[in-house]
Amino acid sequence: MRVAIVLATTLSLLAVAAAAQPQAKIETSMGTVVVVLEKDKAPKTVANFIRYARQGLYNNTVIYRIVPGYVVQTGSLGADLKWRPLGAGVPLETAGGLSNKRGTLAMAREMKPTNSAKAEFFFNLADTNAAALDAKPGDAPNTTGFAVFGHIASGQEVLDAIALVPLGGMKGSFPTAYPQKPIVIKKITISEVAAALPPPPVPAAASEATTPPVTPDQAAPPH
């Protein structure tokens, strides 16, 4: 019986590992944020983000838009205040059931066309964002809203601290929302491997007790 339980537990852990989503480690000058990327619900958006991250596009860029209680936005604006070249836009993916609530990550885009999202992305700071930024009920799938493609696994306190910095740096596409002291995205690292799993329980000896011991542009969401 205990062998069967151990086998079942091991298989369950392997299933969790197989289903694990990729992660992005976002290292900023104010701390690190780890994001789980929702590749199952926004596959094209996640693939686009991973491609840019692995190309190093986001390394040494800046956060150029902060709206307290709303969003923190970054993307392809380098620390030298030059926009970096980008490829084609990615198709809009807002029909996967994800919502622009606090702690999520979404692609910024122009209002038209809908496939204009490229490399700019933002963190949602409030649950109330969903009403304005999610797809509109009744609209055709993937035609409205801003595509959520990840959620924060750790480091929400870093985003909250960033949202409190003095603004009015008068640079970038949103000069009044630019921080007075630049906040740098040092590096974004993608991990496709699940975090280390705990080892399966070891069967107790026959004489032991059986009780077991006790994880570039101005593309932006609207104001």
- Of 128, 148, 164, nearest to 35 by C-alpha is 148
Sequence-separated contacts (24+) of 7-14 with Cβ below 8 Å: 9/200, 9/201, 10/200, 13/197, 13/198, 13/200
Domains of the chain: 21-191 (2.40.100.10)
Q: Would you give per-residue pLDDT tens digits along the chain (223 residues)?
A: 454 444 444 444 444 444 578 999 999 999 999 999 999 999 999 999 999 999 999 999 999 999 999 999 999 999 999 999 999 999 999 999 999 999 999 999 998 899 999 999 999 999 999 999 999 999 999 999 999 999 999 999 999 999 999 999 999 999 999 999 999 999 999 998 554 444 444 443 333 332 223 323 445 554 4
Cα separation, 188 vs 46, in Å, equals 14
